[in-house]
């Protein structure tokens, strides 16, 4: 991996964090992101930016990190490279809006090297409590356009990968309505070199705001009550279960001695677990279950 490619990736990831935070703060009359610069014991560090108590965003975090050092030997064997030396840089975000009609959203874009091998990973996915199908189609189409600009095989691959990845086995349901997800994307994949893959990652990262912000603008002023907030809290419990049990970013961060507060910023401010709760049949809440199944959203309508 050339130093120029690494520097280019780091500069993009830092700028992406800045652009996203600035845009999100535009929705808030008072709440602002708090910035927390941190260092990692073993090498590297990052900038965690968290917003809480906003009128639109109840809690959100947008992290940048660049870390390096040695991986635990057992964990190193699960990755594509050789040895235990690693370097990783990434920007990740999770936003939990206050209004139940505005979906939670997650995105992550990263570059990792282990020994002489390097690869890219990332994606973006949507987790609504009360989905509007037009919003879901818009989200998927925006990400599809970003993929298609670089390789027509990317979107079908990464959309299907996302559907598989954000599945909660013990609940036998998808976490949300998907998006795109990719990992271990390395030079040679579909004939692309490192520069071409970084160009795709940049395109996908820049597509996040156009994919999500129109949904926030359309739904954040819709009226809601205690019923909707209670259902949102219950659905957030599913989000917590996935992130703590299956999410690769959480596992990688904890396995590499990452900063716990930054890793767990993805969790909502509030969530609930009601015993054996089942939404009323034919209710708006019950309708969500029918949408938590893989669909070709980008081609509908």
Residues marked active site are found at 106
Supply the DSSP symbol for 175: S
Q: Give the neighbor-by-neighbor strand order of the sheet with 104-114.
A: 34-39, 44-52, 57-70, 85-97, 104-114, 117-127, 178-185
- Do residues 189 and 197 make contact, with C-beta atoms less than 8 angstroms apart? yes
Sequence-ordered strand ranges (E) for the chain: 34-39, 44-52, 57-70, 85-97, 104-114, 117-127, 167-168, 173-174, 178-185
> CA distances (Å), 214 to each of 21, 31, 218, in order?
16, 20, 6
Task: For residue 5, report the phi and psi dihedrals to the nearest 5 degrees.
Answer: -65, -45
What is the C-alpha radius of gyration for the chain, rounded to an integer number of angstroms?
19
Cα 60 to chain center, whole Å?
12
Q: End-to-end alpha-carbon separation of the chain, Å?
A: 43
Q: Which of 109, 9, 94 is nearest to 49 (CA)?
A: 94
Q: What angle do CA 252, 257, 258 make, to 5 degrees?
A: 70
- Do residues 88 and 110 make contact, with C-beta atoms less than 8 angstroms apart? yes
Q: Which of 187, 186, 194, 202 is nearest to 149 (CA)?
A: 202
Three-state secondary-structure class, residue 114: strand
Structure tokens at 113: 């090297």
């Amino acid at each position: 991996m050339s130093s120029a490619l690494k520097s280019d990736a780091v500069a993009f990831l830092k700028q992406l964090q800045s652009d996203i935070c600035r845009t999100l703060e535009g929705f808030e009359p008072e709440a602002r992101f708090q910035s927390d610069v941190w260092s990692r014991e073993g090498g590297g560090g990052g900038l965690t930016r968290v917003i809480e108590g906003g009128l639109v965003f109840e809690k959100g975090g947008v992290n940048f990190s660049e870390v390096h050092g040695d991986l635990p030997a057992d964990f190193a064997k699960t990755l594509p490279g050789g040895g235990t030396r690693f370097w990783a840089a990434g920007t990740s975000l999770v936003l939990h809006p206050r209004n139940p009609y505005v979906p939670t959203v997650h995105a992550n874009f990263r570059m990792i090297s282990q020994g002489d091998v390097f690869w890219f990973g990332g994606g973006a996915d949507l987790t609504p409590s009360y989905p509007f199908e037009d919003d879901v189609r818009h989200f998927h189409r925006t990400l599809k356009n970003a993929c298609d600009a670089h390789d027509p095989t990317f979107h079908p691959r990464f959309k299907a990968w996302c559907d598989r990845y954000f599945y909660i086995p013990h609940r036998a349901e998808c976490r949300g309505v998907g998006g795109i997800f990719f990992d271990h994307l390395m030079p040679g994949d579909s004939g692309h070199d490192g520069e071409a893959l970084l160009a795709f990652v940049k395109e996908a990262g820049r597509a996040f705001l156009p994919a999500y912000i129109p949904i926030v603008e359309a739904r954040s002023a819709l009226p809601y009550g205690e019923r909707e907030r209670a259902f949102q809290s219950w659905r957030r419990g599913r989000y917590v279960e996935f992130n703590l049990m299956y999410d690769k970013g959480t596992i990688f961060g904890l396995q590499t001695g990452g900063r716990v507060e930054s890793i767990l910023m993805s969790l909502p401010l509030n969530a609930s677990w009601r015993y054996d709760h089942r939404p009323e049949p034919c209710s708006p809440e019950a309708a969500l279950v029918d949408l938590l199944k893989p669909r070709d959203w980008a081609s509908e309508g």
